[in-house]
Amino acid sequence: MTKTQKRVIAVLSFIATALVMSAGFYVWSNYRAFATKPLGPALPQIATQTLPATWTAAPVTPPVAGANTLAPTISFPTNTPAPLCGGPAVMNILAIGQDQRSNNYQYGLGDVVRVVRVDFATPRVTVLEFPRDLWVEIPYISDNLDGLDHGKLNQAYLYGQPGDGFAYWDDPSQGPGLLSLTLNLNFGVNVDHYLAVNMRTFEDVVNAIGGITLEVPDIETAHNTGLPIGRHHLGGSEALKVARNREEGMFERVSNQNLVLCAMRDKVLSPNTITKIPELIQSFQDNVQTDFTPEQLSQLACLGAQLPTENIAFASFPEELFTEIRIYEDPAYPKGLLIFDADFDVLRSYVTLFQAGAWPELSTSTTTTETEEETSSTSFCP
């Protein structure tokens, strides 16, 4: 081979290498553009409140029935391990269950309102439920409701939706955005992302993973769920029926939802299902309302596969903090509305603890005593 031939081959090799690198960079750039593109509008920015330099949370013990409850002092852990799965240290998610069976999100009340704190470092997931019947101040609605600036918490989502007669504020984030502002205004909740699911999509997701298995261990759970004691395999419509069952009361309905969510978690992370998670995400991304990116959804799926069951906790405000009363402030309901009345300062204290990762505490065993249930209002996946 002559020197000229060697030079030509060297030049061609260089060009080929450059082309391969360019193609790889192009593919990677396109993948990154897809993976990091939000599937919906972002939440509105909320100005961070600056607390006085001397501020500390009030040191008090956990709630006792019949007594006002304040929050204990918050202590922040040090030397936090690096987050798993490429996620942030902490991600707060507003999860909304819409009460419509339609294929769109034009209307519907936010009948399930939960804030999910995802700790990628511990790892740990805690879920705080907000009663839908709390009477709250809702921003941006007074001009449309003759000066009325309050409503039930579930109405905050509805008033932001684009259906005719609503869309009470002009923001692309619609109902999830208005609900997030309402939670922040009344309780100091700060969320990073949102996910809203209507009833039809919920049924479809359960069916897509092959249904769920629900264990009804005792007569009390049987009363709450409407299922006999024993092991049950439920399809989407049956799982939705259990999750919506409130014959025994609103707080029992929350317990039913927790049972269904735990069963879904077990099924999604089973060996037969976990490999299908990317396909499931892709098939349902157009049927939910969310601002997640595909990359963030993959991070959550990755964390779920590494998350110990005992590190998933469902928290509710203590039942004794709420009183059911009837009010007559909304002219659309001349006979009055039944709402939950509560001391919002106390609820804010709990929210502060929740967002700091100080409440609820991690489970130290797979069982919870009756006393622990009364004081912590916390449940763990079995």
- pLDDT per residue as tens digits for the range 101-143: 777 888 899 999 999 999 999 999 999 999 999 999 999 999 9
Whether 25 and 42 have beta carbons less than 8 Å apart is answered as: no
Contacts of 184 (CB under 8 A, 6+ apart): 46, 190
- Cα-Cα end-to-end distance for the chain: 73
Whether 93 and 194 have beta carbons less than 8 Å apart is answered as: yes
Q: How many CA atoms lie within 13 A of 357 on its CB side?
A: 18
pLDDT for 6 equals: 60
* Tens-digit pLDDT profile for residues 326-354: 999 888 888 899 999 999 999 999 999 99
Question: Residue 71: is its pLDDT beyond 60?
Answer: no
pLDDT for 273 equals: 83
Q: C-alpha dihedral over 349, 47, 295, 105, to 10 degrees?
A: 80
Contacts of 283 (CB under 8 A, 6+ apart): 208
Rounded Cα–Cα distance for residues 274 and 269 (Å):
5
Q: What are 123's two structure tokens?
A: 């790892």
Pairing relationship of beta strands 90-98 and 193-197 according to DSSP bridges: parallel
pLDDT for 44 equals: 92
Place of tokens 């992302």: 193
What is the dihedral sign for C-alpha 267, 268, 274, 275?
Answer: positive
AA identity, residue 370: E
DSSP symbol at 92: E
DSSP symbol at 76: -
Higher pLDDT: 286 or 181? It is 181
Question: Residue 173: is its pLDDT beyond 80?
Answer: yes
Question: Residue 12: is its pLDDT beyond 70?
Answer: no
The angle formed by the CA atoms of residues 249, 344 and 258, to the nearest 5 degrees, is: 35
Higher pLDDT: 15 or 159? It is 159
Q: What is the band of 363 on the pLDDT scale with cuts at 50, 70, 90?
A: low
Question: Residue 56: is its pLDDT beyond 90?
Answer: no
Phi, psi of 248 (to 5 degrees): -95, 5
* Tens-digit pLDDT profile for residues 269-319: 788 887 777 677 777 878 899 999 989 988 998 898 888 888 999 999 999
Rounded Cα–Cα distance for residues 182 and 151 (Å):
10
Residue ranges of domains in the chain: 56-196+311-382
Higher pLDDT: 85 or 20? It is 85
Contacts of 202 (CB under 8 A, 6+ apart): 97, 236, 239, 240, 243
Strand order through the sheet with 289-290 = 289-290, 193-197, 90-98, 110-119, 124-130, 312-316, 378-380
